[in-house]
């Protein structure tokens, strides 16, 4: 059995791509997208007609409306290929505006429903800012399920659990990147691999906290740099993986066992933790890695949203 098939015994495998034509090869349950992945996809010849057609149908409408139609068009195509859910992201430029995030999320869901897609098949992705988490709490009460992304700090995960969000996406690889860069020449790869990887340790702490305290929010590790990070999180609720790393797992025959265990977590002595807005902001501020990577991630997604708008204007 290859490692991809072995992983599927313990964990729901999710494809992290906007390139829906790659999906059938790996048979994932779910798929996730983000502005960067959609931008990458629409620049490929295979997807240029989809961009041009969507822009032509909605020409003259505001750019944000056309963009949402494009995102939903990709999501609908992805859903033809997978049995589960697709994640579609609210514009990152709204990351600090609860009301605007709510409006955009509701519009995205309405566009999916207009295409005959049920709410159970869509996750609305929102950045794990305080404002984003509050928007997600309201959306969940309305029956719109949310995937809280750009999650780097334990306090973000705790607040998402309190808000009752459907799913969180802690970013393993970007946490690893920060610690590796911070260590500079003192970084020893072998000492920080597998279970010792700081990104892996972050997800394990969140997983154990959720399972210990009966928090129903799903944990989906994301942003992987190598298959060692993935195999070290076998047993996590879900893992969202790029097509390149899915291919590596499928080509690897080495044994793979469960690394995270919900029953073991429930037996742990872990304190209950809660945050209000002030304590959340202080905890996030105290975590230099999370503060920097959250800001960097939002900036990058904002920049790609602008690039996508330029392509739409040129189409």
Catalytic position from the list 44, 125, 181, 293: 125
Q: Do residues 237 and 219 lie in contact, with contact meaning Cβ atoms separated by under 8 Å?
A: yes
| Displacement of CA 177 from its chain's centroid (Å) | 17
**Would residue 125 show up in a list of annotated catalytic residues for this protein?**
yes
Annotated catalytic sites, by residue?
A: 125
């Amino acid at each position: 059995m290859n490692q991809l098939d072995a992983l599927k015994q313990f964990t729901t495998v999710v494809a992290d791509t906007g390139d829906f034509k790659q999906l059938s090869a790996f048979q994932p349950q779910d798929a996730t997208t983000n502005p960067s992945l959609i931008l990458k996809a629409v620049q490929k010849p295979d997807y240029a007609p989809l961009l041009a057609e969507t822009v032509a149908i909605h020409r003259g409408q505001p750019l944000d409306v056309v963009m949402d139609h494009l995102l939903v068009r990709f999501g609908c195509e992805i859903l033809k290929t997978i049995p589960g859910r697709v994640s579609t992201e609210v514009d990152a430029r709204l990351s600090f505006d609860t009301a605007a995030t709510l409006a955009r999320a509701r519009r995205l869901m309405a566009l999916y429903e207009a295409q005959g897609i049920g709410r159970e098949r869509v996750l609305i992705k929102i950045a794990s800012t305080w404002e984003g988490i509050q928007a997600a709490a309201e959306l969940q009460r309305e029956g719109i399920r949310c995937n809280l992304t750009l999650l780097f700090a334990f306090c973000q995960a705790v607040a998402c659990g309190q808000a009752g969000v459907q799913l969180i996406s802690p970013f393993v690889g970007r946490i690893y990147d920060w610690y590796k860069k911070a260590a500079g020449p003192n970084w020893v790869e072998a000492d920080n691999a597998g279970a010792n990887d700081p990104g892996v340790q972050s997800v394990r702490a969140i997983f154990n906290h959720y399972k210990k305290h009966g928090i129903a929010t799903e944990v989906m590790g994301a942003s992987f740099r190598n298959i060692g990070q993935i195999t070290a999180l076998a047993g996590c609720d879900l893992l969202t993986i790029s097509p390149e790393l899915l291919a590596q797992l499928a080509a690897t025959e080495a044994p793979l066992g469960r690394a995270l265990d919900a029953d073991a977590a429930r037996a742990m002595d872990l304190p209950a933790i809660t945050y209000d807005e002030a304590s959340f902001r202080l905890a996030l501020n105290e975590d230099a890695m999370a503060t920097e990577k959250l800001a960097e991630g939002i900036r990058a997604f904002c920049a790609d949203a602008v690039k996508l708008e330029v392509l739409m204007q040129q189409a």
